[in-house]
Structure formats: structure tokens, C-alpha cells
């Protein structure tokens, strides 16, 4: 059965986001949670981040504070199967067509009692492509209520201006300026709360972010960015990363599709300098 009705596809094109309450089946979520818990347990023995576990401030063995597992698909078979062959690839196909690449994946933890704010931003400036169809599919690995810092999106903002994500001096901030935030319509802000397994989808131009998690509960959000194969990445940031930019459905296409709208570029991070949005905002891959 398809994930989306034609109406839902139209809503995505209009609003730049979707929230699917009836998301991933519990047994599959259990597998992903089990994989996630393995990383949390392993983090107890860490005092510094490793390539697969990025620690947050205040982390210790008794109270693990994880920021992120970057490129989840590279680090655990359950995540690999989910991101490369799982049901969200079907969802991506319904929105993007038959030829799809996975650009990257990540698991944002937002640990309870301190998980940091992610300031308002758009994603595409972190990893520009030749057009604006790339999107990110999120899956909550726990019930997420308003206290737990759900992701917030500004409906329709994907049709608005594209920020440079730089300050007045031109320095990269990875987030919208105060003036750009002030120009957003608060009436269009939607907080995407959802049950364990619920799915979020947001377009690469949709303004989104989340507050600090002041609850005692962790808010794990598993994110996968997919692009149609005719959206060609303009930077090489994922080149050396396992499963970076890998085709997950269909095959390569003969032509790049180019948008008429220029895309602001990030600093030149070279190839493979994969890092997290937290260190960018509080620099690199969104």
C-alpha cells in the first residue's frame, strides 16, 4: 500500500513538510531502538567523541549525553537496512520518483536535561544540489511531546527566501539571522510532536529547528536525506563517507536538472569533513 494519497503529496508540495502519525511498524522501531541503545551503552566508556558517536556537553558514564550518530547507515546493519532498503525509501520514491540517492543519514539524540537547541535553518545550504528537491525523512524513536523539543517547521517557508546562513560580516553561522527569523510568520510555525514511529518529512528549503530539550527524556530523531538522482550535489562533503550519495532506488540519470534559483554556498569544507549541525551552530553538515 502506498504511504501517501495524492492529497498528501499536494500538501507536501504546498507546505514543504508532512507529519505521518501512522509511521513505522512497532517491530521495526524495536530493532532500531535496540541498535540505538547499543550506541548509548557503548558511549558510557567514552570521554571523547568517536567517528560513530558524537558526544554532547556534560556526558559521563552515569548520564550519557549523546548528540548524534552521524551516517547511521555506515555503523550498524539495522540502520543500513533501514536507510538503504527500508520502508522510508518507498516513501521517498512516492515524493521523488524512481531514481533516488541517499545523501546522508544521522540520529539526533537531544538527550534529556540538556539536549541543545538547533537554531532555525534550511538544509540545502549545508549541502547544495543542482535543484531543490532533496528532502529529509525523520522517524521518532520515542514518543515525543511538546516538552521534549519536537522539530518545528514553518509551513510554506520552502517557497520563501533562501538564507545565506551567514552573519552581517559574511561569516557562516549555519542559521537564519535574527532579522530573517523576525520576518517569518509565527502563525505558520508547526511543532511536529509524534508517537514512537511517527514520520516527518521536510523539504531542503523548509525553515526548521528545535529548542533545547528540558524534559528528562531523550528525544531520538532518526533522519535520512534523499535526493532524486538528477539533483547533483555541488560539494564533495560525502565523497569519502561510506554510503554517502549512494543510489538506493533506480539508477543514474543522463542529465542533471538545474534550478534557476542560485543556491548560497557553505564554506569550503573539502571532502569528508563530516561533522554535525550542533558544532556548526554552537559549522557543518546540516
Ligand X SMILES: O=C(O)CCC(=O)C(=O)O
- Residue 57 CB partners (closer than 8 Å, separation 6+): 65, 114, 116
For the beta carbon of residue 10, count every other beta carbon within 10 angstroms. Answer: 11
The site that binds ligand X (CB under 6 A) totals a number of residues, namely: 11
- Using the rule CB under 6 A, is 224 a contact of ligand X? no
Residue nearest to ligand X (CB): 210
**Backbone dihedral angles phi then psi of residue 172, each to the nearest 5 degrees:** -65, 130
Complex with ligand X: residue 83 or 286, whichever CB lies closer: 286
Distance of CA 145 to CAs 105, 122, 274, Å?
23, 23, 30
- Using the rule CB under 6 A, is 32 a contact of ligand X? no
Least Cβ distance, residue 209 to ligand X (angstroms):
6
- Using the rule CB under 6 A, is 93 a contact of ligand X? no
Which grid cell sits at 218?
Answer: 531523550
- Using the rule CB under 6 A, is 151 a contact of ligand X? yes
From 19-27, 49-57, 207-215, 229-237, span contacting ligand X (CB under 6 A): 207-215
Helices 87-96, 6-15: axis angle to 10 degrees equals 70
* Identified binder of ligand X from the candidate list 71, 105, 108, 111, rule CB under 6 A: 108
Which grid cell sits at 280?
Answer: 556548526
Residue 125 · residue 165 · CB < 8 Å: yes
Dihedral sign computed on CA atoms, order 43, 49, 53, 56: positive
Least Cβ distance, residue 277 to ligand X (angstroms):
5
CA atoms lying within 13 Å on the CB side of residue 282: 14
d(CA 246, CA 143): 30
Complex with ligand X: residue 64 or 138, whichever CB lies closer: 138
- Using the rule CB under 6 A, is 155 a contact of ligand X? no
Site string for ligand X, 238-277 (x = CB under 6 A): ---------------------------------------x
- Using the rule CB under 6 A, is 207 a contact of ligand X? no
From 19-27, 35-43, 79-87, 206-214, span contacting ligand X (CB under 6 A): 206-214
- Using the rule CB under 6 A, is 210 a contact of ligand X? yes
State the residues that interact with ligand X by CB under 6 A. 108, 118, 123, 151, 208-210, 221, 223, 277, 286
Amino acid at each position: 500500500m502506498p504511504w501517501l494519497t495524492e492529497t498528501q503529496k499536494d500538501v507536501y508540495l504546498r507546505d514543504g513538510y508532512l507529519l505521518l502519525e501512522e509511521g513505522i511498524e512497532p517491530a521495526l522501531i524495536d530493532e532500531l531502538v535496540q541498535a540505538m541503545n547499543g550506541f548509548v551503552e557503548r558511549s558510557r566508556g567514552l570521554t571523547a567523541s568517536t567517528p560513530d558517536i558524537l558526544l554532547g556537553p556534560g556526558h559521563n558514564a552515569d548520564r550519557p549525553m549523546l548528540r548524534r550518530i552521524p551516517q547511521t547507515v555506515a555503523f550498524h546493519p539495522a540502520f543500513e537496512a533501514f536507510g538503504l532498503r527500508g520502508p522510508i525509501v518507498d516513501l521517498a520514491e512516492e515524493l521523488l520518483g524512481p531514481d533516488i540517492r541517499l545523501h546522508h543519514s544521522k540520529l539526533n539524540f537531544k538527550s534529556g536535561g540538556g539536549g541543545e537547541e538547533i537554531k532555525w535553518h534550511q538544509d540545502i545550504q549545508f549541502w547544495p544540489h543542482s535543484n531543490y528537491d532533496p528532502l529529509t525523512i525523520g522517524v521518532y524513536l520515542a514518543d515525543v511531546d511538546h516538552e521534549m523539543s519536537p522539530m518545528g517547521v514553518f509551513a510554506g517557508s520552502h517557497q520563501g527566501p533562501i538564507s545565506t546562513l551567514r552573519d552581517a560580516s559574511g561569516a557562516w553561522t549555519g542559521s537564519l539571522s535574527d532579522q530573517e527569523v523576525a520576518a517569518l510568520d509565527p502563525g505558520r510555525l508547526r511543532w511536529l510532536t509524534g508517537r514512537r514511529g511517527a514520520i516527518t518529512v521536510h523539504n531542503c528549503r523548509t525553515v526548521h529547528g528545535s529548542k533545547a530539550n528540558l524534559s528528562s527524556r531523550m528525544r531520538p530523531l532518526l533522519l535520512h536525506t534523499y535526493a532524486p538522482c538528477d539533483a547533483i550535489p555541488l560539494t564533495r562533503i560525502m565523497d569519502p563517507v561510506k554510503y554517502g550519495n549512494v543510489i538506493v532506488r533506480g539508477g543514474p540519470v543522463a542529465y542533471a536538472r538545474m534550478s534557476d534559483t542560485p543556491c548560497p554556498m557553505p564554506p569550503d569544507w573539502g571532502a569528508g569533513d563530516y561533522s554535525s549541525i550542533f558544532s556548526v551552530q554552537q559549522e557543518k553538515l546540516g
